[in-house]
Structures are given as C-alpha cells and as structure tokens.
Chains A and B, each alone.
Chain A
C-alpha cells in the first residue's frame, strides 16, 4: 500500500454530524444530477400557480372578503401544497436506497444510522425552498402582492421550513415502509392529496359540508396555510401561528424516532 491512511478521531456526536453532512452532499448531488426531477422542481409550482389562479380565480374570488385578490389568497395554499407534494421525493429517495445494495454498504460502515435519512430530508428541505422561491417570483410576475413586512416574511420562512422538515420526516416513514417506489408514489398520493385538498388551500371552507369543514379547518396543514396566509395578507394570526408550529413539532417528535426505528429494523 503506497499511501499512509489517516483516520480522523471523531466523537460520536461530531461523527454523526459529519456523516449527515456527507449524506446531505450526496443527496443534493442527486437532486442536481437528476435533471427530470430538477425541471419538475421549477415547472410544477409555476404550472399549478398559473392554472389555479386562472381557472378558479374568477369563481372563488366572489367568495373571498372584498379587497383580497384570489392570487394573494391562493399563494399560501399553493406553497404549502407544493411542499407537501415535494416531500414525496424524500420517500422515493429513501425507498430507492433501501431497494438497492447501497444500503448494505452504509450499514456495514462505521457511520451514524440516522445520517442516510438526514441527508435526504435536509437536501429535500433545500429543494423545496428553491421551489418556493421560484413560485413566489412567478407569483410576483403575474400580479401577486404581499403586505407582509420583512419580519413577517422571516416568520413565514420559519413556519414553512419547520413544516417541510416535519412533513419530509413523515414521508421518510412511507419511504421505509413501502416495498417499491411505485408503492411510495401511490401511498404519498393517497395521503397528501386529500390532506391538501380537504383544507383551506384553494378555497375558503364556507362552502364545504359540516364534517368536511370541521376537518378542513382544524387539520395541521390548514393551520400552516392559515398562518402563512394571515402573515402574507397582513391579517391577525389568531391561534394559527402557534398551532402551526405546535403541529409541526408534534409531527417531528413522532416521525423522527419512528422513521429511525423502522429504518434500523428494516431487513434484519
């Protein structure tokens, strides 16, 4: 052997951070190299924004309080919906790793168990942030105007990041449990689609029947949407702000240990 090998002495905690950092770089490289997915990241949100605002805008704006354009109302809903759908990518990536031999490699290395999932979840957070920024810019082009201050925008970013993180960890569970990438796709669809549509994302809940309305107004995604919307429209936050944060924290507190446990048990 020609070269002398130099090993780093890392504490367990530092080791876990370094491993996660290495895996974040890996997953981010995947996102950049996966051209199809990258195109989706930019075009899907723009498409949704334009379609929803032009198809529904005329009818729904009649149900909105006077002075609020539909596009401004829609923005919060469509951002949260995009982020929720985007979490599918985490599930697919984790499922892909588990289906292939590479997971055995990672498991046979002296590395942190959590790092593989951390890598996918965090890089997904970056990708979703890009999507959101693209959508906001596209919105500005077609007439979206916010009344939020800089501080309120920081709050919006905070709420969205926390929610995205939590939802990606939930998706991670789907990725670990599902037997194939196809299963991930329909499972995510069946979970995410009803959750984002049975909410106040696209229309006010007034027109829904009693039960649907009760669900749509109180489910976690609606809390996040309402919080972001109130901040964008410069309206009172009410309980939505802290409920959005609380729901996200609860999801995180459940999803991280569950996903990690299932991941370490898988195929043992």
Chain B
C-alpha cells in the first residue's frame, strides 16, 4: 500500500476490462492521472468513456483490471472512494422539485458535512456559480446551463480532491460552454484533480494537461495536445503575395520547400520541419531577393486531424457539421 501523503498519483487504472455479455465495452484501459492535473478522455460516442467514468466513480462493477482512486481500491473500498470523489454526469443529477439551495445542502449533508458547514458552503457555491438569484426556485424552472452549473456545484459541495466530469458541456450553447470552461479552469487552479470526458477536441485541447484518445474500448493514443498534434503532421507556413508576379518569384526562390500553391489567391504553403528555424530561413531568403509578403500564417494541425488519422473516422463535431449541411 503506497503512502497516501507522498503518492502523487490520484487515479491509477491498469488493464481495465468490462463486457456486457459478448459486447466488450472496455478492452484493457490503462491510465494514470497525477494529483492536481487534468486528464481528458477523448473519443466518439460509444468509445467507452462513460463506462470508464462509471467504473471509476463506483457506479459500475468491472470484470478484470485494477482501479485505484486516491490510494483506495474501487472494488474493495468503494465507500472510501466515495468520500474523495465528485461526479458530474451527462444528465444533470439534481432534484427537480427541490430548490437549488436545498439540493446543495442536502447533498452536503449526505457527504457528512454538518448542517452549518453545508449551509455555508452552499452559499459560497451559489455565489461562485452565479445562482444566487435562482437559489430559492425549484430546479425544474432552471435553464439547461443553470442545471449544469448547479450539478457541478453539487459535486463540489464537500470539496472532494477528485472530480469526474462526464461530457460537462454536451448540449450546451456556446456561451454556456465557455462559462463552464471558465469554471473548470478555476477548479484546476484550486488544485483539484479532474478527469474529463468529451467528444469535443477543442475542449480537450483548451483544458487538459494530458489527453487519452479512446475508441472501441481501447486507448489509441495519449500525450499532451501538442504531442498528439505532432504525431499527425508538421506545422505549415502559408504566405500570401501582392500579385502573380511576386508569387512566381517566391516560388522560384523556395523551389523544393513549396508544398502547395494557389495562383488565384497568390499564396503558397511550405512545410516546416523545425518551425522556428525554417520560418526564419524562408523569410530571410525572400528578404534578400526583395520579394514583398502581403501576409503570412502558421497553421498547426488540429486535434480533428489527429482524430481522423488515428481512427479513420471523423469526429462528432465534423459529423454534426455535415449533418447540419445535409439537413
């Protein structure tokens, strides 16, 4: 048993497997989350994200593997695990007929907070999550974004050191999503360990320290957003010129480096093997020959590119976009 005070690992999962009959939902997941960091579990619908979170948060039994949360074994010490975790699921898990404040205090009491402590903490969270005005209203009158905020506030009522966020922004409008991101960032500043699942690449990119891409119940890639992007492709430099003449001159000078050329827009693209060094090289070459540049841009590969190259599938965001176009 590792000493809990010095162990820097908050979540440790090894060889996690789960099947429903012949349907193998998880085929051996490994992941480690260090204390005070955020791991994003990224994958399409049905990849096994929610199943993983449900197992880690003691809601679901698993078949084989090893899961330790804060040093406690999920299978043997579920009650201990429950004292150190907070869970925010896909559907807002709050009581519709109770008011926002009543929900917070009730859950705080169930976390074994004293009545005074639960009440004080509820007040603090209502302020922090901008719910003071709605505190006396039954939750059934709340908007989607307010529900999610309350749901997250409820998970934080006893300030657990580890939080599971299962697709916290799915179904939210862009404004509510950004508000939610701000709240999550604040949590991270407080040193909370977070495991977030998302189908949105942008979300993982924006928030997470580490990203694990899962598909079909398996980990298919892991690393920082930067590392994952680097796996897929190199940065590209796009140069735009004033007219066809300068474009032709530039092309003649850069020759082999040119990856793509667009005569209509007087632009060309070069591949950057070493971003800093190569940009300077290109610009120096153009400057010595007095070729004027109208504008330039460095394009980094997006996580969408990562996903596509890893799974051969489009991401859900792309899919939705396509569906919308078709519709």
Contact = CB atoms under 8 A, between A and B. Distances in A.
Interface string A188-228: 00000000000000000000000000000000000000000
Interface stretch (A29-37, A41-49, A122-130): A29-37
A2 B122 CA distance: 12
Interface string A1-39: 111111110100001001100100110011001100000
Interface residues of B, number: 41
Interface residues of A, number: 33
A4 B124 CA distance: 11
A223 B116 CA distance: 48
Contacts of B91: 100-101
B8 to A, nearest CB: 21
A101 B93 contact: yes
A26 to B, nearest CB: 6
Contact of B111 (A34, A109, A267, A268): A109
Given A15-B112, A104-B89, A108-B87, A5 B57 contact: no
Contacts of B58: 107-108
A2 B93 contact: no
B82 interface: yes
Nearest to B54: A104
A99 to B, nearest CB: 10
5 contacts: A4-B117, A6-B116, A7-B117, A102-B93, A110-B112
A42 B120 CA distance: 38
Given A2-B124, A3-B117, A110-B79, A104 B87 contact: yes
Interface string B95-109: 111100010001101
Please name the 8 residue pairs, one residue from A and one from B, whose CB atoms are nearest each other, closest first: A105-B93, A101-B91, A101-B93, A6-B117, A110-B82, A108-B87, A111-B110, A3-B120
B107 A109 contact: yes
Given A3-B120, A5-B158, A33-B138, A107 B59 contact: yes
A101 B102 contact: no
A105 B138 contact: no
Interface of A: 1-8, 10, 15, 18-19, 22, 25-26, 29-30, 33-34, 100-111, 267-268
Contacts of A26: 95, 98, 106
Nearest to B121: A3
Interface of B: 54, 57-61, 79, 82-83, 85-87, 89-98, 102, 106-107, 109-114, 116-117, 120-121, 124, 138, 154, 158-159, 190
A105 B147 CA distance: 14
Contacts of B106: 22, 25-26
Contacts of B90: 101
A102 B61 contact: no
B165 to A, nearest CB: 13
A19 B108 CA distance: 11
Given A26-B98, A33-B138, 9 more contacts: A1-B190, A5-B117, A7-B117, A26-B95, A26-B106, A101-B91, A102-B95, A105-B154, A268-B60
A15 B112 CA distance: 8
Nearest to A21: B109
Contact of A7 (B59, B85, B112, B120): B112
A100 B140 CA distance: 13
With most chain B CB atoms within 10 A of its CB, the pick from A101, A108, A111, A268 is A108
B113 A7 contact: yes
Given A8-B113, A100-B91, A104-B87, A1 B138 contact: no
